Structure 1
Amino acid sequence: MSAPDTSLEREQRRHAPSLLGIGLSMGAGLIMGATIMYVSIERSDTPEAPEAAPSDATGLPVE
């Protein structure tokens, strides 16, 4: 059952603020997601491990 008095222009005006808010929140979410991804990729570089000293068969370091 449809509404008896439907005006598309009036409905577009009434829904415009809501649609704008949804669009802005989606944009903000995309920006936050991209920022989180960028920061996590930048911080993923681990420092290189120090060079291990050579050892003999007992596992003790050789001097």
Structure 2
Amino acid sequence: YGTVYSGLDIGFALAAPVFGAILDHGMPRGVFAGSAAALMLGITSAGLVGLGLARRAPVAAAAA
């Protein structure tokens, strides 16, 4: 729980100035592109974690 909560705090702290700078440069569509990229990064990260857990599960079950 703490890792996810800390990650949200860091993400919120970084996203505001980054997206603010994008808006200041007159590129409002960049906010949507950046949000989509962050979402895809999160989905990919979750998928990779899931693959890693799936690979470890049979080994842990065999040891028990």
CA RMSD of aligned residues (A): 2.4
Greater radius of gyration (CA)? 1
For residue 23 of structure 1, report the CA deviation from its aligned partner. 0.2
Higher percent of residues as helix: 2
Listed as ranges, the gaps of 5+ residues in structure 2 are 1-22
Instruction: Report the TM-score when normalising by structure 1.
Output: 0.52
- Report how far residue 40 of structure 1 moved: 0.5
User: Which shows bigger deviation, 36-45 or 22-31?
Assistant: 36-45
State which drifts further: 22-31 or 37-46.
37-46
TM superposition shift of 1:43: 1.4
Which one of 13, 26, 32 corresponds to residue 10 of structure 1?
Answer: 26
Higher RCO, 1 or 2 (CA under 8 Å, sep at least 6)?
2
How many percent identity over aligned positions?
7
